[in-house]
A and B are shown apart, each in its own frame.
Chain A
Amino acid sequence: MAQIEVQNLHKSFKTGKVLNGVSLDAETGQIVVIFGPSGTGKTVLLRLIAGVEEPDAGTIMLQGRDMTEAAPEARGVGMAFQNFALFPHMSAYDNIASALTAGPMTAMQIKAKVDKVAALLKITHVMQHAPRELSNGQKQRTALARALVSDPRILLLDDPLRNVDAKLRYEMRLELPSLLKASGSTVLYVTQDYKEAMALGDKIAVLLDGAFVQIATPAEVYRKPASLGVAQLFGDPALNMVPAAPVLRNGAPVFELGGATLAMPVSYAGAAGRDCVIGIRPEALVVEEQPGPGSFPVEVVAVTPLNEKSVLLLRTMDGRELLASEPGDEVASRRHGPACARFDADSILVFDAASGLRIASQLN
């Protein structure tokens, strides 16, 4: 029995329809990341599950019970908000304890639990402070503590690392998975950062245009994105998209790029004759001085060194712009001007131009 079962949720606001038939399952102890660009309804989904908003249609089952109509206080979930939502007129201690004061625990029992969670999140020293005296990182941890302290079976985390500075975000990204796994709760984690999604999630559910377009493991979402939209979200810089119409030559599919005819893996023969978009990851593009097998001429227009990698802006002979990404900054000596680019044919992704859906090769 899944801990969370969301079926066919619909929700509209005056501004339009936000969720259009959304379904999702989460098993006990799983961390499911809900990922998508901003404004797509991820927060709305969490609020529906928490009970703070009512769906227009659909059901929400939590721990096997139908909670679609239940009040928030009856659902037994813990939630951490993007903007922390701490109570300004209470100390950090009272903020955390508020998740327990509605229940039957004595003050001493509450204190024990709050202290334990505070120690876990390393905020014991600020327990008596008011929220306005805390740094963003401390506020975020207080909000997390409040969500965790009642040992909820279900945890809803709404982009908790969004408003935290970069260094702390990186640290938390390392700490969170073990923290969440140790709690044993089923976690729904909302984020817009694909790296966070891939680092944290057992499963990633990609929300685009009000529906889940793919629910799969991080590896699968990266290697086999269900659609062009999904592929573009994963990767920085984003995927290169090359419109093409592959044809069969000697039984093998090929396509035109930059004046050259490039080979595709044979398993994509089914793509021949259709209008496609070929996706080439910047990491897969290799830029060299001399031409090699499968390379095509480009001009290096700009180079952006970013320490652990460098991004090159390339222009093909027919005016198409591509981004290539290379590790390290050996590019210090990189010159602008003519060069050659090639890529590993096995690394490409092929999408149908009309629907945006990925065309699977015969192997996968």
Chain B
Amino acid sequence: MPAVSDLANAAVSGVLTGTVYGLMALGLSAIFGVIRLVNFAHGELMTVAMYTAVVAFQRLALDPFVTMLGAAVAFGALGYALQRGFIGRFIRRPEHAQMLLMIALAMIIGNALLLGFGPDARNVQTDYQLDSFAWGALLLDKVRVYAAGAAVLATALLAAFFRLTLTGKAIRACADNPLGARVAGLPVAHLYAVTFGLGAASVAVAGCAMVPLIDVTPGLGPGFTLLAFVIVILGGLGSMVGALLGGVIIGLSEALAGVLIAPSAKSMVSFGLLVVILLARPQGLMGAGRR
């Protein structure tokens, strides 16, 4: 049995990493919750955000947590344009057509990254990257603390946007009843594009927060997409708090499984949890159930 301090360190590290995972899944959850589009290119967008942070660091010496702001705006605009000019045309088409479109987009992005950056891992090297805060026997990785802080802040801002602003309320109306929203004269195509933009912006924040923790390669995308799906299904499709909670649960369970059972059991435990949740509560922990 490991010492209590080892367990506590693993648990804290798991919670912090899980919070960033949650932020990554947030974009997927928001897009699905409103547009009902399953974004199979989600992980690839995250990878593009990570490369953006790497390039900004190498060319402009910008810290990823500074790049985060610009990247969120740029990805927001990119997401808006992508939805308005391209993906929006597929919204009323059969689901398999949407799925193939997003898979094709994922493959194009992944291969374009391979072409542009090559297969080698790239990273950023900030001064504080290898530092940690010591609190008694607890060691808190500085980058994870910053990344989790950014994740919580971004989630709070997004939740506030959806709850407190007129546009946010209109988007929620679209999510609840797209036909009713159209009848009421809401600009549904614009609102969908805003939602996709917000989803892409949260992916940009997550990517910039992740890059000091993980070296980026063009092949990371599918792994991130799968992880985001697990988290979103666990937390409840369309729920923002659910996405964050799902991320924390996955991060924590993987960390504790690694210490208490074996590191190789990490994925087994997280996917086992997914199966249990799907059986006991198919709509996820915070999901609203079938409408």
- Is B a genuine binding partner of A? no
